[in-house]
Every structure is written in structure tokens, then in C-alpha cells.
């Protein structure tokens, strides 16, 4: 009995000295303990951990390789690529020998978590020596534990949308559409497809991903093909983007993702931006086209026809109402959808220099709460408190 008690006491002392790891414990960020050794531009290596997405490290002159040495076992690499990641090889070092751990194909997702099995010495090498896409804005090196909630693990874009949120630029998804994505994606768990019509810069794409993740979206957004340029007239925006291309694109979006509900900009472009006007106009007009087999044959042959049930426009004066973005949301620890939208706009750091850009409160003339039902194939709204009213 005495020996048993002594043994148990010894175990307790060991447990106190070396606490057991909990599977629920969040993985630590080891980045500040890690050494990065790029094969080129070594003086820029500090940019990999400055937590500033406006800076980047880029391999040059064929130097598309970077070594990572950690004093603690590595269990994850969260990489924020500057561009779509190239095909690359992940290797681990045993003594003086490198062995291949995994090969990753080129992809479209620019924020990616790569799993690692407790290695301390890693090497990332682009498969093509002169790959121009081998550039990173940030690397986070994770230890053992549960993946932190801020690490983005994007799922593929949904094949079928209940709600499509269509907006012109990164930040419009919260500036003007307010709590739409936090409420319907983050809280209600609806199948939401976010579509930005213009092709953003690398920095603004990263800011968009950070914002959407903050809003609770987990499926990768759709990035549109249109060049952005300010215009004060709808006709000018259509002329620059080519109206036939815009209509074909939005029609294809409807047919491919089959949204029940579409939410988008104000017909007047909020403060008068032509691309905002274009989004609203194209969203409304192409409902009919998407349902017509005789329009835009290429997307009809690929996806078939589709009839959107409802289209809501920001600030639309008819059938208008205020969404209640001020309810506390359990999914966000009691924050309101408006508060989450404000937090998400905090991720669009490159736009903060413009004082006129902020998430519009209920009392603002451009209120992010105010919407109108511009099109319906399922009857008028009566309750006027839910974009999915009358949809089973």
C-alpha cells in the first residue's frame, strides 16, 4: 500500500512538472521563435512575420525556396500567399538529408493551412525554379494543439447558394450590406456565396478574405473578372466593362450557383459609383435572362435555366424595410451583426485612410440596414424582417 501511494505521489509530481496536453488547447504561434532562411532576398525575410499584409517576401532569380527551423515541433504552416500559390514541395530534414513530406498542386485559395507532423526543420520549394507566383505576405508557424479560430481554413465555393451576396469591391460587403453575411452565414448557417465583381489587387483580396472570415463565411468567395474604374454614370460603367460580358457573367452566376435570394447594391450606386450601379442593375435585369433558355446559350448548355426567387437592393425605395442588425448573435458571443460588420471592416486596412468609408448605422442616409424587395417570384413580403420570407 505504501509503495502504491509513493508511486501515485510520484505520478502527481511528474504531472505537475509536465502537464498533460489537452486536445482542446489552442496551438501556439511559434513564429517569433522560428528562423527563416530564404534562398534569395534574405534581407526581406522579416516581412514574413511582420503581420502586415501590405508587405511581402518574393523569391527572385530562381530563388524559390525557403527553410524554416523551429526549436519546437511544427504542426502547421498557415501561409498567406501574395498570389495564387504555385505547385510546391514540402520537405523535412533528418540530419543532413532532406526527405519529401508532401507535394501540393497550384491552387486558387491564397490563405492556406498546411498540416505538419511535428517536424523541426522544413523546406518549401516551388516545383518551377522561376515561378513568378512564389511570394508570401505572411507565414504563421503553429505548434501542437487545436487550430486557432483566426486561421482560415477555406472550403470550396458552394455549388448551390441559398443566398448570393453580389458586391462591386472588397469592403462593400460590409460598408453597404452591413450585417447580411454575419447574420445569414455566421449565425443562421445559410449557404451563402459571396461574389465580388471586380478583380481586386493582391492586398485587397487578402483584406476581403480576412473580412469574410470575420463575418463567419467559410466557403471561398467568387472573384469577378471586371476591371474597376470610378464612373459617375451607369452607362459609362457598362461601356468600360462591356455590357454583353456583364450580362453573360451575371446570368452564368445565377445558373451555376442557383441562388434563391440575391442581395446587392443601390441602383443609384450609394454615393454614385458606377460599378455599384452596374451590380444592382445587372442583378435585377439578368433574373429574366437566367430563366430564358434562349439567352446566353453557353451557360444554358452547361448549367440549364434558373429562376431566382427574390432580389433585394440596398436602399431600394419600394417594398422597403430595415433589417434588424442589432440583435445579439450567439455565434459571435453576443455581438450584433452590425458590430461584426464593423469589426470586419477593420480588416480592410488599406481603405481606412478614407474617412467617408465606414459601416453605415441605421440612422445614416446610406443605412446598411435599409433594403427593398425589387423582384419576387414568390409573392410580396408581409413581415419584412427576413430575406427568406416566403421561401420554404
Dmax (CA) of the chain = 91
pLDDT band at 92 (very low <50, low <70, confident <90, very high): very high
* Measured distance CA(246)–CA(377) in Å, rounded: 23
Map residue 390 onto helix, strand or coil. coil
Q: Which residue ranges make up each domain of the chain?
A: 27-142, 163-376
pLDDT cut 90: percent of the chain above it: 91
* Integer angstrom CA distances of residue 18 from 14, 15, 70: 6, 5, 21
Q: In the prediction, which pLDDT does 133 show?
A: 87
Judge whether residue 8 has pLDDT over 60.
no
Q: How many CB atoms lie within 10 A of CB 128?
A: 15
Q: What is the pLDDT of residues 25-70, one digit of tens each?
A: 999 999 999 999 999 999 999 999 999 999 999 998 888 999 999 9
* Set of cell numbers at residue 334: 453576443
Q: What does the DSSP 8-state code read for residue 351?
A: G
Considering the entire predicted model, what is its pTM?
Answer: 0.93
Q: In the prediction, which pLDDT does 6 show?
A: 52
Nearest residue to 389 via CA among 290, 323, 330, 292 = 323
> What integer is the mean pLDDT of 319-336?
98
Judge whether residue 251 has pLDDT over 80.
yes
* Measured distance CA(135)–CA(127) in Å, rounded: 14
Task: Give 58's contacts (C-beta < 8 A, 6+ positions apart).
Answer: 41, 44, 82, 134, 135, 136
Q: What is the pLDDT of residues 266-298, one digit of tens each?
A: 999 999 999 999 999 999 999 999 999 999 999
Task: Judge whether 349 and 207 are in contact, CB under 8 Å.
Answer: yes
Q: How many CB atoms lie within 10 A of CB 11?
A: 10
Grid cell 431600394 is found at 316
Judge whether residue 84 has pLDDT over 50.
yes
* Measured distance CA(309)–CA(291) in Å, rounded: 11
Q: In the prediction, which pLDDT does 19 show?
A: 44
Measured N-to-C along each axis, helices 243-257 and 234-241 cross at an angle, to the nearest 10 degrees, of 80
Judge whether residue 4 has pLDDT over 70.
no
**Arch. (CATH architecture) of 27-142:** Sandwich (2.60)
Q: Does domain 163-376 sit in CATH 3.40.190.10?
A: no
* Measured distance CA(102)–CA(119) in Å, rounded: 13
Q: Which residues of 50-70 are buried (b: 16+ CB within 10 A; e: fewer)?
A: eeebeebbbbbeebbbbbbbb
Nearest residue to 39 via CA among 115, 104, 103, 131 = 131
CA dihedral 239, 267, 357, 214 (to 10 degrees): -100
Amino acid at each position: 500500500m505504501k509503495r502504491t501511494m509513493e508511486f501515485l505521489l510520484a505520478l502527481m509530481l511528474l504531472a505537475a512538472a509536465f502537464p498533460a496536453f489537452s486536445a482542446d488547447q489552442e496551438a501556439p504561434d511559434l513564429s517569433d521563435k522560428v528562423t527563416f532562411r530564404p534562398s534569395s532576398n534574405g534581407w526581406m525575410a522579416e516581412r514574413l512575420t511582420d503581420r502586415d499584409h501590405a508587405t511581402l517576401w518574393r523569391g527572385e532569380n530562381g530563388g524559390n525556396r525557403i527553410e524554416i527551423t523551429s526549436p519546437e515541433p511544427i504542426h502547421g504552416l498557415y501561409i498567406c500567399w501574395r498570389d495564387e500559390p504555385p505547385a510546391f514541395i514540402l520537405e523535412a530534414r533528418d540530419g543532413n538529408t532532406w526527405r519529401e513530406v508532401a507535394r501540393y498542386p497550384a491552387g486558387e485559395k491564397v490563405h492556406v493551412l498546411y498540416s505538419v507532423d511535428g517536424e523541426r526543420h522544413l523546406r518549401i520549394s516551388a516545383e518551377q525554379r522561376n515561378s513568378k507566383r512564389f511570394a508570401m505576405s505572411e507565414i504563421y508557424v503553429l505548434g501542437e494543439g487545436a487550430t486557432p479560430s483566426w486561421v482560415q481554413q477555406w472550403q470550396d465555393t458552394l455549388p448551390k447558394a441559398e443566398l448570393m451576396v453580389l458586391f462591386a469591391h472588397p469592403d462593400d460587403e460590409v460598408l453597404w450590406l452591413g450585417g447580411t453575411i454575419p447574420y445569414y452565414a455566421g449565425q443562421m448557417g445559410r449557404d451563402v456565396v459571396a461574389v465580388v465583381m471586380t478583380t481586386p489587387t493582391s492586398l485587397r483580396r487578402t483584406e476581403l478574405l480576412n473580412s469574410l472570415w470575420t463575418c463567419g463565411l467559410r466557403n471561398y468567395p467568387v472573384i469577378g473578372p471586371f476591371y474597376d474604374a470610378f464612373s459617375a454614370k451607369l452607362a459609362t460603367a457598362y461601356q468600360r466593362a462591356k455590357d454583353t460580358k456583364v450580362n453573360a457573367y451575371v446570368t452564368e452566376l445565377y445558373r451555376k450557383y442557383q441562388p434563391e435570394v440575391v442581395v446587392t447594391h443601390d441602383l443609384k450606386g450609394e454615393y454614385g459609383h458606377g460599378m455599384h450601379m452596374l451590380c444592382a442593375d445587372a442583378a435585377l435585369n439578368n433574373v429574366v435572362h437566367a430563366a430564358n433558355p434562349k439567352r446566353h446559350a453557353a451557360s444554358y448548355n452547361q448549367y440549364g435555366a434558373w429562376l431566382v426567387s427574390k432580389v433585394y437592393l440596398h436602399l431600394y425605395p419600394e417594398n422597403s424595410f430595415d433589417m434588424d442588425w442589432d440583435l445579439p448573435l450567439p455565434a459571435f458571443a453576443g455581438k450584433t451583426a452590425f458590430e461584426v460588420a464593423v469589426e470586419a471592416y477593420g480588416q480592410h486596412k488599406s481603405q481606412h485612410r478614407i474617412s467617408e468609408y465606414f459601416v453605415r448605422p441605421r440612422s445614416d442616409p446610406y443605412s446598411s440596414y435599409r433594403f427593398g424587395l425589387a423582384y419576387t417570384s414568390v409573392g410580396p413580403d408581409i413581415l419584412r424582417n427576413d430575406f427568406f420570407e416566403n421561401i420554404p
